[in-house]
C-alpha cells in the first residue's frame, strides 16, 4: 500500500501534482479542500459548518475533517494506496491520521511566500478541476474554461487579505508537520518553483524508490 501525503503551502501545486500522480499510478486523490467545497455547493450540514471558516482562510475544525478522511480512506478504492492533498493540516490531524492509516511517504513541495501570493491572486479555477493563472497560464476564452466552457471562478479565499491569512495559518499550524514527518523518517522535499513536469519527475523518483 502506497499511502502518500502531499504537504506544502496553499498554491504550491499539491492539487496539480496529486492529479498527475493519481493518473500515473491509479491511486485516488483525496483533497479535503475539494470535499469541503462540494459540501458547500450541496448545502449539506458539513458545508454549512465549514463555509465561514473557509471564507476567512481559517482551518475547519479538526473533528469535522478527521471523520471525513477516516471514512473516505475506508473505501475500497483506497486499498492499493492513496494520495492526500490538504490533509493533514496540523499536528492534531497528523496524529489522527496515524491512528487509522499508515503513511509511507510525505512529499513537501516548497515554494516561497512571494511566489505563493502571486500564484494565488492570479488563480482562476473551474468546477471541472482545471486551474488557470490570469498571467502565466490564461484561458483562451475570456473567463471561461478551455476544457468545458464553464465560467471560471476566483475563489473567495484567493482574495488578497485571505491569502495572507492562509499563509500565516500555514506557517503556524501546517509547517510544523515537516519536522513531525521528518521525525517519522518518511519526509522527502521537492522544489516547487520548478516546471510542473520537473516537479512531477522529482516526485515520481521518490515514489519509485519505495
**Which are the catalytic amino acids?**
14, 89, 123, 155, 166
**Residue 153, all three cell numbers:** 471562478
- By the rule CB under 6 A, 36 interacts with ligand AMP: yes
Asked if 8 touches ligand AMP (CB under 6 A), the answer is no
Residue nearest to ligand AMP (CB): 33
Q: Which helix (H) or strand (E) holds 54?
A: helix 45-56
Nearer to ligand AMP, 158 or 188 (CB): 158
Among 4, 6, 21, 65, binds ligand AMP (CB under 6 A): 65
- Is 17 within 8 Å of 199 (Cβ atoms)? yes
Helices then strands (H, E): number in the chain? Answer: 9, 7
Footprint (CB under 6 A) of ligand AMP, residues 70-129: 86-87, 89, 93
Cβ nearer to ligand AMP, comparing 49 with 206: 49
Whole-angstrom distance, CA of residue 174 vs CA of residue 94: 10
Under rule CB under 6 A, residue 53 binds ligand AMP? yes
Q: Restricting to residues 125-164, which ones interact with ligand AMP according to CB under 6 A?
A: 157
Q: CB-based contacts of 132: which residues, under 8 Å, 6+ apart?
A: 123, 124, 125, 126, 138, 139, 145, 152
As measured in angstroms, the least distance from the Cβ of 24 to ligand AMP is: 21
Instruction: Tell me whether residue 161 or residue 201 sits nearer to ligand AMP (CB atom).
Output: 161
Closest by CA position to 27, among listed 18, 35, 36:
18
Q: Per rule CB under 6 A, is residue 25 in the interface with ligand AMP?
A: no
Amino acid at each position: 500500500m502506497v499511502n502518500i501525503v502531499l504537504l506544502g503551502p496553499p498554491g504550491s501545486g499539491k492539487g496539480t501534482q496529486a492529479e498527475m500522480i493519481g493518473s500515473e499510478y491509479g491511486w485516488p486523490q483525496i483533497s479535503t479542500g475539494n470535499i469541503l467545497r462540494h459540501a458547500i455547493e450541496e448545502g449539506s450540514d458539513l458545508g454549512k459548518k465549514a463555509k465561514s471558516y473557509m471564507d476567512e482562510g481559517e482551518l475547519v475544525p479538526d473533528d469535522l475533517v478527521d471523520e471525513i478522511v477516516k471514512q473516505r480512506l475506508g473505501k475500497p478504492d483506497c486499498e492499493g494506496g492513496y494520495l492526500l492533498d490538504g490533509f493533514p493540516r496540523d499536528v492534531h490531524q497528523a496524529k489522527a491520521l496515524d491512528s487509522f492509516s499508515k503513511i509511507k511517504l510525505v512529499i513537501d513541495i516548497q515554494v516561497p511566500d512571494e511566489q505563493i501570493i502571486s500564484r494565488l491572486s492570479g488563480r482562476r479555477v473551474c468546477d471541472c478541476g482545471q486551474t488557470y493563472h490570469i498571467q502565466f497560464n490564461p484561458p483562451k476564452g475570456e473567463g471561461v474554461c478551455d476544457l468545458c466552457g464553464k465560467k471560471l471562478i476566483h475563489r473567495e479565499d484567493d482574495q488578497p487579505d485571505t491569502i495572507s491569512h492562509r499563509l500565516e495559518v500555514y506557517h503556524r499550524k501546517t509547517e510544523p508537520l515537516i519536522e513531525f514527518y521528518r521525525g517519522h523518517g518518511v519526509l522527502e522535499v521537492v522544489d516547487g518553483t520548478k516546471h510542473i513536469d520537473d516537479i512531477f519527475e522529482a516526485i515520481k523518483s521518490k515514489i519509485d524508490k519505495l
